[in-house]
Structure 1
Amino acid sequence: MTTEESIVVDVPVRTVYNQWTQFEDFPRFMSGVERVVQVDDTHNHWVTNIGGVRREFDTRITEQRPDERIAWTTEEGEVRQAGVVTFHRLDETHTKVLVQLDMEPEGVAEAAAEKLDLVGKQTSADLRKFKAFIEARGTETGAWREEVDRPQP
């Protein structure tokens, strides 16, 4: 299952990127995300509850470039996914955020969600909530601006 959604946010790319690196704040604008614990610079533990289906899984950031992109993949847990968020500076005060997500359905609920494009609809709704969150604040809650490179084969 693949989804791609985007939104234009009325704040500078640096602010948008900085906020997106605050993974533990994701429950503030992502439906179904109960908790994200940042284990270290490249690992996060997620607890989600979507449609009554509770899942826990770990992700690893595979690539991170300030103001440009963050890519990740799952490592352990009940969810198999990989994705990338890219940040596109449109001008001094506008940024396009593009989310690309690939998921492997794990059960009946996920298979049904795929057929109804529920992941795409939820991603779009979460991006709208992120836009409202960051535009209302006008500033990020924190930042992590280091780079992470993809491991070489």
Structure 2
Amino acid sequence: MSTLEEHIDVAVPLDRAWESLHRVEDYPRFVGGVRDARSRAEGRAHLDVETGGRLRELEAEVSDRQEEHVMEWHTTGAPELTGSFSLRPIDEGHTRIQARITYEPGTVREVFGGPKGFAQANTIERLVRSDLEHFKEYVEHGG
């Protein structure tokens, strides 16, 4: 398994960032490749993801440790992905978002295609960094 950790600071209060992160229906606005996303009952989410010219459906279970401002998730099928978002206040108007994703490189490559080895790790890192940058724009500009 490989683990990726990235963080970004956003110029909004913690509560606003937390709320925005939980609006699954808005994920297509800031998560690359997500064409549609819906919340389901009992802490589940459905995402339609386009990659390599193909549309894939992903189901995920989401849980919160709200008092700690941690949102954890994992896919319920292939590819097996797990992750979390931890939010920490920097001050009243700024929040640090820490993203952590655990994945099996071979499985991700089989499902989504793309390069092998170190190149794949770099690609995933760039995608996560890009998604965090897009989330920053989204949340800071009224999302």
Distance 1:113 1:92 in 2: 43
SS of the residue corresponding to residue 82 of structure 1 reads strand
Would you tell me which structure has more helix in proportion to its own residues?
Answer: 2
The equivalences for 1:1-153 within 5 A come to 1-65=2-66, 68-76=69-77, 78-104=78-104, 105-106=106-107, 107=110, 109-110=112-113, 112=115, 115-116=118-119, 117-137=122-142
SS of the residue corresponding to residue 112 of structure 1 reads coil
Q: Which runs of 5+ in 1 are unaligned?
A: 141-153
Relative to structure 1, the CA distance from residue 101 to residue 57 in structure 2 (aligned partners, 3 Å threshold; closer, same or farther) is same
User: What TM-score do the two structures reach when normalised by structure 2?
Assistant: 0.86
User: 8 Å contact 2:51–2:112 — kept in the other structure?
Assistant: no
Relative to structure 1, the CA distance from residue 114 to residue 28 in structure 2 (aligned partners, 3 Å threshold; closer, same or farther) is farther
1:28-74 CA-partner distances (Å, limit 9, x unpaired): 01110111111114001111112324321211114431561100111
Q: How many residues align?
A: 137
Aligned Cα root-mean-square deviation (Å): 2.0
Q: Which runs of 5+ in 2 are unaligned?
A: none
Deviation of residue 98 (structure 1)?
Answer: 0.6
Distance 2:36 2:117 in 1: 23
Identical-pair percentage: 24
